[in-house]
Amino acid sequence: CSAISKRREFRQLTHAERLTFLSAIKALQEGPRPSRYQAYVEDYSRQYEISHYNAKLLPWHRAYLREVEKSLQAIDSSIMLPYWDWAYD
């Protein structure tokens, strides 16, 4: 690894970075059904009861989000999955 990337809050992204991120999300939604995006939604739904009410939550969520991020990076390597700071609202 030659560089360490830092996640940023969604509203800290530049306009261009937001467009890049949202375009990559849209690209995951396109293609044959089920799309890659739909597969992630279905996987999350299947795992919800299993992983959300026990000690598996944080490790499972970290691995799940990393898989989503890698799919986005396959579309554009500059993408880092942003987070949403709900306290900011």
Q: What is the pLDDT of residues 42-67, one digit of tens each?
A: 999 988 888 888 888 899 999 999 99
d(CA 29, CA 13) in angstroms, rounded, equals 22
Tell me: pLDDT of 2 over 90: no
Would you say residue 77 lies in a domain?
Answer: yes
pTM value? 0.86
Q: Does 87 map to a domain?
A: no
State residue 31's pLDDT score: 84
Q: Decide if 63 is inside a domain.
A: yes
Say if 2 falls within a structural domain: no
Q: Is residue 62 part of a domain?
A: yes
Q: How many domains does the chain have?
A: 1
Residue 89 lies in a domain: no
**Model confidence pLDDT, tens digit, residues 6-42:** 899 999 999 999 999 999 999 999 988 999 999 999 9
- CB 57 within 8 Å of CB 63: no
The one-letter amino acid code at 13 reads L
Please indicate, yes or no, if residue 21 is contained in any of the structural domains. Answer: yes
CA separation for the pair 68, 74 (Å, rounded): 10
The range of the structural domain enclosing residue 21 comes to: 10-81
